[in-house]
Each structure stands twice: as structure tokens, then as C-alpha cells.
Amino acid sequence: MRDETIDTHCPYCALQCGMKLRAAADPADGTERTVEVVERTEFPVNRGALCGKGRTAPAVLSSRVRLTGPLVRSHATGRLEEATWEEALRTIADGLGRTRAEHGADAVGVFGGGGLTNEKAYTLGKFARVALGTSQIDYNGRFCMSSAAAAHTRAFGLDRGLPFPLEDIPRTGCVILVGSNLAETMPPALRYLTELKENGGTLIVVDPRRTRTAEQADLHLAPRPGTDLALALGLLHIVVAEGRTDDAFVEDRTTGWPEARAAAMAHWPELVERITGVGVPQLREAVRMFCDAPTGMVLTARGPEQQSKGTDTVGAWINLCLATGRAGRPLSGYGCLTGQGNGQGGREHGQKADQLPGYRKLDDPAARAHVAEVWGVPPESLPGPGRSAYELLDALGRDVRSLLLMGSNPVVSAPRAAHIEERLRSLDFLAVADVVLSETAALADVVLPVTQWAEETGTMTNLEGRVLLRRRALTPPEGVRSDLEVLHALAGLLGHEKGFPTDAEEVFEELRRASAGGPADYSGITYRRIAEEDGVFWPCPGTADDGPVHPGTPRLFLDRFATPDGLARFVPVTHRPAAEEPDAEYPVLLTTGRVVAQYQSGAQTRRVGELTAAAPGPFVELHPQMAERLGVAEGDPVAVVSRRGRAEGPARVTNGIRPDTVFMPFHWPGAGRVNSVTNPALDPTSRMPEFKVCAVRVEAAAPGAGAGAGAE
């Protein structure tokens, strides 16, 4: 076989950077086929740029680091041992079927991942509701941008991460970037902010840390963690007080302004300064920069969203955009920087507990009837909405007795992780499908090795709402099957031999029909169009055979918002404290995040030598004043302790963090697992956990002490 070069996309974040893969010919000596990443300069999102994770992504394809055969836990030894596919699939079908027969369908749970392709996410949702008949399905994308999604829907009638393409960002006048460190989480996207400044625009960064991204800002606001809502309200107060509202836009294109204005006016600048720690002069300067620019955008990420008031916090930033006319206009608007590779598409097409394909609501009779017809089942057979992600994990071993988990590692990534690990261990039966033996897979009764991004074809939806095609570049190792093959086989064993195809394009054709007429309408998108057009933006309705092809929708809301009357909704919101505020026992605030060389729970990136060398383990970032009080120096072991658990890491002393705050990245298990410490308090609307702020105490730790994982 000769060398081949295939256009595809990075397997990691929601930029879904374009790349080419060059797969060498099969070597004569039987060793593994080598795969090389080649720049794909013509793809518009990243224009050839890749971060270290993207460049080294083929390393995880190696059989030396990934799973290459099924594993079943032996009753005799208690260990995971090699098994045939037939044995593994039958064990899963028996385990799930036994639970359903003894305890009912809702005693079986399904937990998905934000990295699954649209085809796999769609099929997993269908499998849960049709083959298993359970309502208990959600996915780790709930931890990604669900608060922004709820606020987007509440204000605009539709949720898409960015309602405009990334290419618009450098052409706007001012960007307020809230709780995002693009330099480390999405490095190729940093060029958009660099170009913004080169074009004469201004950048305001809101972050309690002076990150590499904040260092690029014209103005850096460093609020106390958990106070982003007060900050946004304070800025809106100043906008109103200084007469900077766009009254014509508010009158013509919005509703609910009087109530939202009254709520903002209760947050005067001096009060906001006391709450946030951001000085009144900085608040006024931020308003001046934003309102003096002819156009402007607010972009939020996990910082304001992963809070127990994340929906209202995002809503306050949306209110700021609406009041100043920075929404529904060219080069202006609010957008959310989705984190996971397919966090957008994963919830659009059925992994989320309350949604059906096409972003339809599961409790909408018309939506149920439409999807049921596509699936060939009675509408009344579809279960209702189930539990959100954390609530589902918390119910394991009690109401939910068995679990099928695909593409997620909650032992590391879930809040209150030691508790979630206990719940996973308490299950009657756990099956995991993954590419590596993650910390969660290591607890399973059955582990299935599944194909990776370069070994399968499928679509992803990036943070712009651009539907992309990832092409198969090489044959997976013998002993590895695709998730679609897994679900097809399990459905057959459970009595549903039809309706679960294994070909990705065939699944996508069904997804098109299921999404037709829904908010996330993909019916006009085909594999051929995606390939020819570098992706197609949804919504993209289908047309009659002789009608013009819908071009897709790169920019939303320019003519009207997606509400019944076409008007955006102001929502009155007020500041409230975090679910857990500092006290005498836990006097410090903890916030968490990522580092550039690792991704999410690290299950894959921790297996790449170059990335592990760059970021070998966790650390505790703290201010010199705190380090002096503790008597610790750079590199000394430090423990961070909350009411839920303990995490440890070497001290990283820096002036780039607030004196009342510490920071830890969340990519590692064991003693450095910071999610042992984090708070699972949920936003009442989005059910997003409060990862970004909790009360802790910080103490010097004995070298090698590490009780680490944090038991409750």
C-alpha cells in the first residue's frame, strides 16, 4: 500500500483544527504503520496551526498505549482478563438485561462523552431510549457549557456556542473574554485575539489569574472567584448610569428591559468593588472601552459557567450585550467558547437527559412524535427526561444499578470525585467502551476497546456550529471495533436487530431526518457538502429536490432572534454568593482549570511522552503572601483540603494569582486529583456543578505524605 494523505480534524478540543494525516505504507516487517500529522493550511479555523496535543495525537493510536482487545473481570481472580468479543458483548447484554428485568428500565444508566461523533452520540441516545427503554442518560458535556446553553436559549431562543464564525472576532471593536485562557486551552485560537489588536481593536480579559491570555489584554480584571455575576451587573449599572444604552435596539429587538435594568441598578459600582475586588476605576474603564468601540463581543468559557449560578452569570453578560446593542448585528454578539471536541453536537442529538435529536425537547409531544416516526417506534414508548450528569452519577449503586459508559472518565473529571468513584464501585454492573484503560475503565466489569478518530469516519460540530467530517485514515488494530458496531451488537442481543446501523454515513442520513424541522436542523447537510465546503453551519434545513440548496447559517440572529416573536429576552438576575463561601476553617478560594499540554481527564494525553514531559503532574498555584504564611517555597509539597477531600501538588508561587485564591489543574488522578476537593453544588437551571469555586484550606504537606484521593 502506498503512502496516503487524508484531510481530517484534531481529536481534542472544540476548535476541531484541520490537519492532514499521512499514513505510511504497511511495513514489511509487521511493525505498526506510522502516521504523521501534516499542516492543512487551507482549513479556515486554524489555518494550519496546531498545538502540541494536535501534533502528537497519533501517539495514542499505538497499540503500546491503547486497548486492543476486550477485557472481562474474572469471578475467580477479580481481575480484568482478556476475552473474546462474543463473550464481552454477551456479558454486557446479560448484565444490563438482568438489571432491567429485576429493577426496571430506569435502573440501567448510560453515560456518554463530549468527544463522540454526532453519529455515535445520536446512536447512543437512541440505544438508551429504544433498546434499553431508560430515561437515565446524560453525558460529560453537561460539565462543559450547559450553563451557557441554558442562558443562550433563555435569551435568544436557540443555543449555538458561537452565533458567528471565529473569523469575525478580529474584525470587531472590543472583546470581553470572561473566564477563558485560550493560550493554554485552545492555542491556535489565540491568533484571533492577536489579529484583533493588530486591527486596532481592544481586549478585556476577566480572570482571577494573570494567565498567558490575560497578559495579552489591554485591560485585565481579576475578580474574586464566584463573583463574575456581580461584575457583569456592575458594568451594566455603569452603562445605564452613563447613558450608554442603545435605546433604539432595546426598543426594536428586545423585551424585558425594565426588569433587567432595575436588577442591574441594585449593583452600584462601590458595592461591586466590595464583592469582586475589582476597583471602580477599572469597572468604568471597561465600560468605556466596550462602549466606545463601534462593535463588540462578549465571549465566555468555563470560568463564569461552571458555577452554581452559571446560567444567571452568563445571562448577565448577555444583558450587557443586549443593552448596548452588541447582539444580533454584524461583528457583535455574545458567544460561548465550547470546550470539548463535540460538546455542541453531543447534546444536540440525544445524549443530554432532556433532549432528542435536532435539539428537540423530550417532553414536547410533537418532538416525540417526529423522532418516534423516524425510529419506527410508538411515541409513548419513549421515556421522559432523566437525571443530569452529576445526579446520574450520584444515583449509581442505588436507583441506577448498572451503567454503560462511553468516552468519559468521571473518576478524574467529576466533582466530588472520591464520592463518584465510590458510587461506580457500588454498581451491580459497569461496562466501559474507551480507547485506553482509563481510571474509570479500570473499575469496570467489562471493557471494550473502540476505534479512535483516525480509524473511523464521522462528523463533529465545532464551537462555531460548523459541522465537519473526520475521515478514516487507517485500519484499526485487529480486536478493536467501532462504537457503532458495539451498539449494533448490543441492540441485537437485547432484541433490537434492526435500527442500529454500523455505517456512519447511513447513521448521519437518519440523523438528518430526525433533526429536520428542529432547532438544530441538519437535514440540508450531507457528507459531500461538508467535504466540498470545509464544513456547513447549522441550522441548514433541507430543500425540495428542485429547490435551491440552503447555504447554512454562519451568522445567527441578524434579522430576528429564534424566539416566537423574534425578540431577544432580557432576564433580570441578581448576584448571590457561591454555594460555599470561605470561613474560619476553610478560608481560601480554590479554582481549577487546564494546562496546555494536557486535555480534560488526561486519559489520553498522559500517555504521550512529549506531553507528559511538558506537564508531568499537578501543582498548586498560590500567591507569595500565602506561601510566606505557610512557610513554603517554590516546589514544596502543598495540600488543598475541602469538606469533601484533599489534593496535593508542589507549590508554584506567582504574583499572577489573587492572594485569597489558589489554582490547581484537573488532569491527574491519585493524590493530585483536585476534583476530590471540588463542590458538586448544581446550577438550578443547567444542573452544572460548581467546579470553579469552593472553600478550602491550604497547608504545607510532608514530602510523600499524600492521602490524596480524598475519601468521604
Query: What is the residue-wise DSSP string for 538-571?
Result: SP-----TTSPPP---SS-SSS--SSTTS-EE--
- Return the closest-CA partner of residue 464 out of 166, 142, 155, 143: 166
pLDDT band at 400 (very low <50, low <70, confident <90, very high): very high
Q: What percent of the chain has a predicted confidence (pLDDT) above 90?
A: 93
- Return the closest-CA partner of residue 299 out of 179, 389, 418: 179
Q: How high is the pLDDT of residue 708?
A: 45
CB environment 613-631: b (16+ within 10 A), e (fewer): eebeebbbbbbeebbeebe
- The 3-state DSSP class for residue 198 equals helix
Instruction: Give the model confidence (pLDDT) of 262-313 as tens digits.
Output: 999 999 999 999 999 999 999 999 999 999 999 999 999 999 999 999 999 9
Q: Which residue do the cell numbers 481549577 mark? A: 592
CB 145 within 8 A of CB 305: yes
**Termini Cα distance of the chain:** 56
Which of 336, 362, 381 is the last residue before a domain boundary?
336
User: What is the CA angle 173-179-182, rounded to 5?
Assistant: 70
How far apart (Å, rounded) are the C-alpha atoms in residues 57 and 50? 11
**CATH number, residue 656:** 2.40.40.20
Distances (CA, A) of 497 to 122, 446, 513, 600: 17, 22, 21, 35
**CATH number, residue 43:** 2.20.25
Q: How far is CA 680 from the centre of its chain?
A: 16
* Residue 33 burial class via C-beta count within 10 angstroms: exposed 0-12, middle 13-18, buried 19 and up: middle
Query: SS3 string of 308-323?
Result: CCHHHHHHHHHHHHHH
Query: What is the residue-wise DSSP string for 422-487?
Result: HHHHT-SEEEEEESS--TTGGG-SEEEEB--GGGS-EEEE-TTSEEEEEPP-SPPPTT-B-HHHHH
The strand pair at 661-665 and 588-593 is best described as parallel
Average pLDDT, the chain: 95
Q: How high is the pLDDT of residue 426?
A: 98
Whether residue 544 is contained in a domain is answered as no
Query: What is the residue-wise DSSP string for 348-388?
Result: HTT-STTEETTTEETT-HHHHHHHHHHHTS-GGGS------
Residue range of the domain that includes 686: 588-700
Instruction: Give the model confidence (pLDDT) of 153-169 as tens digits.
Output: 999 999 999 999 999 99
pLDDT at 1 over 70: no
Verify that 413 and 353 share a domain, yes or no. Answer: yes
pLDDT at 707 over 60: no
Q: How high is the pLDDT of residue 706?
A: 52
Query: What is the residue-wise DSSP string for 105-166?
Result: GGGEEEEE-TTS-HHHHHHHHHIIIIII--S-EEETTHHHHHHHHHHHHHHHS---S-SS-G
Whether residue 706 is contained in a domain is answered as no
Q: How high is the pLDDT of residue 145?
A: 86
Whether residue 577 is contained in a domain is answered as no
Verify that 251 and 379 share a domain, yes or no. Answer: no
Instruction: Give the model confidence (pLDDT) of 172-188 as tens digits.
Output: 999 999 999 999 999 99
**CATH number, residue 132:** 3.40.50.740
Whether residue 557 is contained in a domain is answered as no
Q: How high is the pLDDT of residue 3?
A: 63
Q: At what angle do helices 269-276 and 228-241 cross, to 10 degrees?
A: 160
Verify that 166 and 314 share a domain, yes or no. Answer: yes
**CATH number, residue 218:** 3.40.228.10
Verify that 284 and 211 share a domain, yes or no. Answer: yes
How far apart (Å, rounded) are the C-alpha atoms in residues 181 and 340? 15
How far apart (Å, rounded) are the C-alpha atoms in residues 238 and 251? 20
Distances (CA, A) of 484 to 47, 451, 461, 474, 502: 31, 10, 18, 17, 5
- Return the closest-CA partner of residue 24 out of 40, 49, 6, 39: 6
Q: What percent of the chain has a predicted confidence (pLDDT) above 70?
A: 97
pLDDT at 457 over 90: yes
Which of 522, 537, 552 is the last residue before a domain boundary?
537
Residue range 474-480: average pLDDT? 92
Whether residue 569 is contained in a domain is answered as no
- Return the closest-CA partner of residue 404 out of 372, 349, 450: 450
Q: How high is the pLDDT of residue 27?
A: 65
How far apart (Å, rounded) are the C-alpha atoms in residues 140 and 601? 11
Whether residue 551 is contained in a domain is answered as no
Q: What share of the chain is helix, strand, coil (3-state, %, to 5)?
A: 35, 20, 45
Phi, psi of 536 (to 5 degrees): -130, 130
Which of 16, 37, 61 is the last residue before a domain boundary?
61
Q: How high is the pLDDT of residue 35?
A: 87
Instruction: Give the model confidence (pLDDT) of 614-628 as tens digits.
Output: 999 999 999 999 999
Phi, psi of 679 (to 5 degrees): -100, 125
Verify that 355 and 368 share a domain, yes or no. Answer: yes
Residue 321: which region, alpha, beta or left (left: phi > 0; alpha: psi -120 to 50)? Answer: alpha
What residues pair up with 403 in beta bridges, in sequence order? Answer: 109, 430
Name the helix (H) or strand (E) containing 171. none
Verify that 194 and 123 share a domain, yes or no. Answer: no
pLDDT at 122 over 90: yes
Q: What is the pTM of this model?
A: 0.96
Whether residue 561 is contained in a domain is answered as no
Verify that 606 and 457 share a domain, yes or no. Answer: no
How far apart (Å, rounded) are the C-alpha atoms in residues 297 and 216? 17
pLDDT at 598 over 60: yes
Verify that 128 and 155 share a domain, yes or no. Answer: no
How far apart (Å, rounded) are the C-alpha atoms in residues 397 and 132? 18
Question: Could you give the number of structural domains in the chain?
Answer: 4
Instruction: Give the model confidence (pLDDT) of 7-64 as tens digits.
Output: 999 999 999 999 999 987 666 665 677 889 999 999 999 999 999 999 999 999 999 9
Verify that 385 and 525 share a domain, yes or no. Answer: yes
Verify that 136 and 153 share a domain, yes or no. Answer: no
pLDDT band at 710 (very low <50, low <70, confident <90, very high): low
Verify that 11 and 84 share a domain, yes or no. Answer: no
Whether residue 711 is contained in a domain is answered as no
Residue range 378-398: average pLDDT? 98
Verify that 424 and 494 share a domain, yes or no. Answer: yes
